[in-house]
Amino acid sequence: YVLHNHDTILDNQGKRYHLRIRDLPENEKPREKLLKHGLLALSTSELLAVVLNTGTKREGVLEMSGRIIKDYGEGGIMSQKNPQALSKDLDVPIGKSLQIVACAELGRRFFQRNNSSLPTIRTAREVYEYVKDMHNLSKEHLRGIYLNTHYKVIHDEIISIGTVDASIIHPREVFKPAVEHSAVA
């Protein structure tokens, strides 16, 4: 049988029933909605439900995705890079947090590749222009500027702040961000 309205039939009034994907009409299921109407027709919660694919025994995927967006916020969840912390914070299985972190990283990487506003650095003169804001500093600062294959800045950070005329660092402090951000220069 098929229910043509959204009324839920409960035989046990004491328990709360949460709608599952299978309970929704075909045109309201996130994947079918995406196929039929495109990305703009889905809410952020529904998009996350498509990424997560399934829920857990205690929580359906729609309920889980809605709770995640509500608890963490739309921007906050995509900036999280640690799946263990995300899993612990949101009380979701590690597999689900891995899916969220991987999806967010893909988005960041594609955005970085397509972002033409990133500065390009090819010469010492361009480096000088890029770091002009450092000329009045009272202490030595070691700054890492990491580039991709197209000489676009993909990451910029202060690695060490030293004394008036010296800064002591270990090479791993320079190379760790380079490896994390897949820098080539």
pTM beyond 0.85: the answer is: no
| Residue 129 scores a pLDDT above 80 | yes
Q: Picking from 6-15, 17-26, 95-104, 158-167, which range would have the lowest pLDDT averaged per residue?
A: 6-15
Instruction: State how far the alpha carbon of 41 is from the alpha carbons of 38, 44, 45, in Å.
Output: 6, 10, 12
| Residue 7 scores a pLDDT above 60 | no
Q: pLDDT of 43-74, one tens digit each?
A: 888 888 888 888 888 888 888 888 888 877 76
Q: Grade residue 126 by pLDDT with cuts at 50, 70 and 90.
A: very high
| Residue 81 scores a pLDDT above 60 | yes
Q: In angstroms, rounded to a whole number, what is the distance separating the alpha carbons of residues 70 and 62?
A: 12
Contact 105, 98 (CB under 8 A): no
pLDDT number for residue 124: 92
DSSP 38: -
pLDDT number for residue 12: 58
| Residue 115 scores a pLDDT above 60 | no
Q: In angstroms, rounded to a whole number, what is the distance separating the alpha carbons of residues 99 and 146?
A: 27
Q: In angstroms, rounded to a whole number, what is the distance separating the alpha carbons of residues 183 and 175?
A: 9
Q: Picking from 17-31, 87-101, 130-144, which range would have the lowest pLDDT averaged per residue?
A: 17-31
The average confidence (pLDDT) of the chain is 81
